[in-house]
Amino acid sequence: MTTRVSVHIYTHSVNYVADRLMRSFKDIIVLTGLNPQGITDQWRTLERGLTTWMNSRHLEKVYLEVWDPSTNRLAIRWDILIGYEPGADGDDTMWEDPDAIRSAIVKGGHVPAKCNYRIVAVVKDGYPDVPGWKSTSTRSTAGLVRQFVGTAVSTPGIRASGGYWRKSS
């Protein structure tokens, strides 16, 4: 007879997903030809917001907006949707699929080096305040088409999936 015992600590899932999201955003920034200094300078603040809002289950989406400062229009936007289902994807393991994102980056292509970027969190009402984060609105996706990437990170309690918006061909 085999006995299997599994203990899941939700905080471990939160930290795992936050870490993988931050690394994925940095990969996207670097592989699309942008300077990663902005994300590295704000790493702790960004990670604190993601972990705080996943712990409280207020985080719904995270966007990486990349825009041309001369027009204020998006060049590309990455969308990560956060789900809080127990046993996300039907198993009790933690995994990520970095190849899905890297493949999508190749398809999305480079953006002009003059572009700026920022990370925007979409949270539910009643979310806890996090120092360094402020309210904002997102840029329009008009003129862009959405490409689905799929699930990028999964744990027993949290799933991160999404895609990106690019200029139509």
Query: 55, 14 in Cβ contact below 8 A?
Result: yes
Q: Does domain 10-123+139-167 have CATH number 1.10.3720.10?
A: no
Query: 34, 113 in Cβ contact below 8 A?
Result: yes
Query: 155, 94 in Cβ contact below 8 A?
Result: yes
- pLDDT of the residue at 88: 45
Residue ranges covered by each domain of the chain: 10-123+139-167
Place of tokens 């899905």: 100
- pLDDT of the residue at 100: 80
Q: What element of type H or E holds 152?
A: strand 144-154
- pLDDT of the residue at 16: 93
- pLDDT of the residue at 87: 52
Query: 59, 82 in Cβ contact below 8 A?
Result: yes
- pLDDT of the residue at 53: 98
Query: 143, 67 in Cβ contact below 8 A?
Result: no
User: Computed over its alpha carbons, how large is the radius of gyration of the chain?
Assistant: 17
Beta bridge partners, 77, equal 65, 165
Q: Note the Cα 123 to chain centre separation in Å.
A: 13
Tens digit of each residue's pLDDT, the chain (169 residues): 565 544 457 888 999 999 999 999 999 999 889 999 999 999 999 999 999 999 999 999 999 999 999 999 999 999 999 999 765 445 668 888 878 877 887 777 778 889 999 999 999 999 999 999 999 999 999 999 999 998 888 888 899 998 999 988 6
